[in-house]
Amino acid sequence: MSKSPPRAWQRMLSGRRLDLLDPTPVDIEIADIAHGLAFVARWNGQTAGDFAYSVAEHALLVEDICGRLKPDWPAKWRLAALLHDAPEYVIGDMISPVKAAVGPGYGALDDRLTAAIHLRFGLPATLPKPVKALIKRADRISAWLEATQLAGFTPAEADRFFGRPDPAVTEGLTLILRPPVEVRAAFTARHNALLAACDA
């Protein structure tokens, strides 16, 4: 008797059944993304405070930084920034050393999920290189802020790993931890506002 293949789909709280090997836009719901990301901890949970620093909170920060770097950026690219780590609602947040150990399979899975998420919300499956580059720059700035404010890095350590950001970009950005339900609501509200701006 042959073994059945391992299950490769996940049931979401919305009722959707997301196939991880072949995700489709129709099975993507923002409520699932917001809920999942609000409960996924960055830095493997090794951050100071009474709540984990979630991927949803990080996504809000990256989108904010993109707006500081390029104030005239269209809403659709800011939406892409907000969703830049959206696949982690399914696959979790792996720190870079773990991603390297897992190998190329992680990247391929991330790419498939990203494409489905982008198409679901009216974005191109693959972002233009300049858009990806600005999001990556904002991501590194956010990592520096998170490292120094929450994850116990000295500024010198953070400079070495992430590069010292321009103080004009980070001025006034103090990271405050919130309960997951608050972050979930904030992420959903920002997503809805950006999506409405894209359609305007």
Rounded to an integer, what distance in angstroms lies between the CA atom of residue 93 and that of residue 31? 18
- Please report, rounded to a whole number, the percentage of residues in the chain having pLDDT higher than 90: 76
Residues 6 or more apart from 9 whose CB is under 8 A from it? 17, 18, 19, 20
User: Is the pTM value of this prediction over 0.75?
Assistant: yes
Two structure tokens written together for 162: 């992430």
In the structure, what pLDDT confidence band is assigned to residue 92 with cuts at 50, 70 and 90? confident
Burial, 140: exposed, middle or buried (Cβ in 10 Å; 0-12, 13-18, 19+)? middle
Rounded to an integer, what distance in angstroms lies between the CA atom of residue 66 and that of residue 180? 23
- Report the pLDDT averaged over residues 40-69: 96
In the structure, what pLDDT confidence band is assigned to residue 130 with cuts at 50, 70 and 90? very high
With both helix axes pointing from N to C terminus, report the angle between 129-149 and 75-82 in degrees, rounded to the nearest 10.
50
Residues 6 or more apart from 40 whose CB is under 8 A from it? 54, 55, 56, 88, 89, 92, 93
**What phi-psi label fits residue 54: left (phi over 0), alpha (psi between -120 and 50 degrees) or beta?**
beta
pLDDT at 1 over 60: no
pLDDT in tens, 3-13: 666 667 888 88
pLDDT in tens, 55-78: 999 999 999 999 999 999 999 999
Q: DSSP for 4-17?
A: PPPP-EEE-TTS-E
Helix, strand, or coil here: 117?
A: helix
Helix, strand, or coil here: 78?
A: helix
Full set of structural domains in the chain with CATH? 27-199 (1.10.3210.10)
Rounded to an integer, what distance in angstroms lies between the CA atom of residue 92 and that of residue 164? 27
pLDDT at 43 over 90: yes
